[in-house]
Amino acid sequence: MKVLSVASEIFPLVKTGGLADVTGALPGAVAPLGVEMRTVVPGYPAVMAQLGKPKVLGTLEDVLGHSVTLLGAKVAGLDLIVVQAPGLYEREGGPYAGLDGIDFGDNWKRFAVLSKSAALIATGAIKGYRPDVVHVHDWQAAMVPCYLAFGDSPAPPSVITVHNIAFQGQFAAHVFGELGLPASAWADGVEYYGGVGFLKAGLRAAQAITTVSPTYAREIRTAEFGMGLEGLINGRADVVSGIVNGIDTDLWDPETDDCLVAPFSAKVLKAREKNRKAVIKSFGLAPAKGPILAVISRLTWQKGMDLLAEALDGIVAAGASVAILGAGDRDLEQAFIEAAARHPGRVAVHVGYDEPLAHLMQGGCDAILVPSRFEPCGLTQLYGLRYGCVPIVARTGGLADTVIDANMAARAAGVATGFHIGRLTAERIVDAVALACEVHDDKPAWTRMMKNGMASDVSWDASARGYVSLYQRLAGEAR
Ligand code: ADP
């Protein structure tokens, strides 16, 4: 089966978040199940620089006024179709914003051209290539199903995956006239609160909707999490499902990870102690009996970092130490720096983005704290499970789906892998940490939890099967 994936980011070529990890891992994960996946991405400078000698697969004369060249290349095992459109993608800065951090004013056009080009590819623009299913990711590719629905050619079925419903691609109403859609499309999916909504249009037009965990799939049907799209999601509940992300188990492998001082496994857990010492040294923590909690996070409201700042005094009083690695809101950075000054040796913060340190923390800290207000899937708790760094998580989205709470029943059955924070408040965060401290004191019980986590399947295998059965169903329905 042939699947055309469309995305604005793909690891290892261009990444700003978890989306890139998923689009980068999916092709390799579904290949053993008989799916040939090609991925359409924009020709940003970072992408162009890694193409080597690409092949010209075709040209599209006039895509919303732009001439587009489709370049084919195989990079890092990925089969890419790069959309090259002079003036649109080859710019300084990131995929969405310039060096000044301000979003490009023509993002609507950049991603409408990406989507329209992908829709043309899906309906035969490249000689000899016809996908059975189109899989698009997030608002940047969300107009693909819409272009397919309003196009002239018979179109393959499409699925849209929502990685975070907070990002919707909303633009002014006047943009509509330049999208090359019939006037009827305005009322038939594209109009969103008086403007243009890319994600909304995709959610309306795609044959199936997925998001990155079953709990988040339910949550986005409510006003609290749906961010204005809950009505639409509810109306299409029969085609909405959640498939949890996997992680790259080669890159994140405690037995081979170069960022660790000492590699370890569930069988040789003793070696982990050396990494713990390295964390203590690197953060300037005082050696302590209680657990060392890792926080590896964007410092934002979504991640509950304001609640964490409020909870820190209580966490220290409960007996834990905290090592924070993160960057984000200046106020939160400051709050953590102040907490570190109040609790020298017990709370330490490293402001910045440091991939090797993130690995060392997962391999050396005792627990990882993830108090997110919402979390479509979340990756840090999955790394924690694999590295024996017991997750303490908010009971939301993918966090709830991937961590088995150490409630009485789960502990009695010996199956717990972490701790859920009930209703998310600073007090409840302290309560969950206090319980973790208690279990940490009971070495056999704690080791059991670490080993349970390390035995959890956090690979792409199950997710890949989920996506492939969805593709098969869509292709079957289309026949
Ligand atoms: P989100 O994509 O919403 O930020 P995820 O948990 O899905 O949250 O993914 C976050 C990823 O970014 C993880 O791989 C995590 O290790 C990494 N990360 C976040 N902050 C930092 C940091 N300051 N330094 C290193 N890695 C970080």
What b/e readout covers 255-281, taking b as 16+ CB neighbours within 10 angstroms?
eebebbbbbbebeeeebbeebbebbbe
Q: Which residue, by CA, sits nearest to atom 24 of ligand 1? A: 353
Six token digits for residue 298: 């964007």
Instruction: Quote the pLDDT of residue 467.
Output: 98
Answer whether 430's CB lies under 8 Å from 318's CB. Answer: yes
379 Cβ inside 6 Å of ligand 1: yes
Separation of CA 325 and ligand 1 centre (Å)? 10
How far out from the chain centre does Cα 366 lie?
A: 24
Q: Which atom of ligand 1 is nearest to the CA of 302?
A: 3
CA distance 234 to 215: 14
Cβ neighbours of residue 304 closer than 8 Å, sequence gap 6 or more: 371, 372, 373, 394, 424, 429
358 Cβ inside 6 Å of ligand 1: yes
Minimal CA–CA distance to 388: which of 314, 340, 337, 449?
A: 449
Separation of CA 327 and ligand 1 centre (Å)? 10
Instruction: Quote the pLDDT of residue 17.
Output: 82
Separation of CA 383 and ligand 1 centre (Å)? 10
Separation of CA 206 and ligand 1 centre (Å)? 29
Question: Using CA atoms in the order 16, 20, 21, 25, what is the torsion angle rounded to 10 degrees?
Answer: -160
Q: For strand 240-242 and strand 419-421, is the pairing parallel, antiparallel, or unpaired? A: unpaired
Conformational region of residue 253, where left means phi above 0, alpha means psi within -120 to 50, and beta covers everything else: beta
Minimal CA–CA distance to 10: which of 87, 106, 67, 76?
A: 76
Cβ neighbours of residue 457 closer than 8 Å, sequence gap 6 or more: none
Name the β-bridge partners of 75: 78
378 Cβ inside 6 Å of ligand 1: yes
345 Cβ inside 6 Å of ligand 1: no
18 Cβ inside 6 Å of ligand 1: yes
Q: Quick one: 2-246+461-478 is in which CATH superfamily?
A: Glycogen Phosphorylase B; (3.40.50.2000)
CA distance 296 to 471: 34
402 Cβ inside 6 Å of ligand 1: no
Instruction: Quote the pLDDT of residue 335.
Output: 98
16 Cβ inside 6 Å of ligand 1: no
CA distance 247 to 224: 28
93 Cβ inside 6 Å of ligand 1: no
What b/e readout covers 188-226, taking b as 16+ CB neighbours within 10 angstroms?
bbbbbeeebbbbbbbbbbbbbbbbbbbbbbbbbbeeebb
325 Cβ inside 6 Å of ligand 1: yes
How far out from the chain centre does Cα 226 lie?
A: 17
Separation of CA 384 and ligand 1 centre (Å)? 12
Separation of CA 381 and ligand 1 centre (Å)? 10
397 Cβ inside 6 Å of ligand 1: no
Domain-by-domain residue ranges, the chain? 2-246+461-478, 269-455
CA distance 179 to 185: 10
User: Would you say the CATH fold of 269-455 matches that of 2-246+461-478?
Assistant: yes
Q: Which residue, by CA, sits nearest to atom 19 of ligand 1? A: 297
Answer whether 168's CB lies under 8 Å from 139's CB. Answer: yes
302 Cβ inside 6 Å of ligand 1: no
Phi, psi of 60 (to 5 degrees): -120, 115
User: Mean pLDDT in runs of 10 for the chain (479 residues)?
Assistant: 98 91 95 98 97 97 98 97 97 95 97 98 97 98 98 96 97 98 98 98 98 98 97 98 94 97 97 97 95 97 97 98 96 98 98 95 98 97 98 98 96 96 96 98 97 97 96 95
297 Cβ inside 6 Å of ligand 1: yes
CATH 3.40.50.2000 applies to domain 269-455:
yes
CA distance 434 to 317: 9
363 Cβ inside 6 Å of ligand 1: no
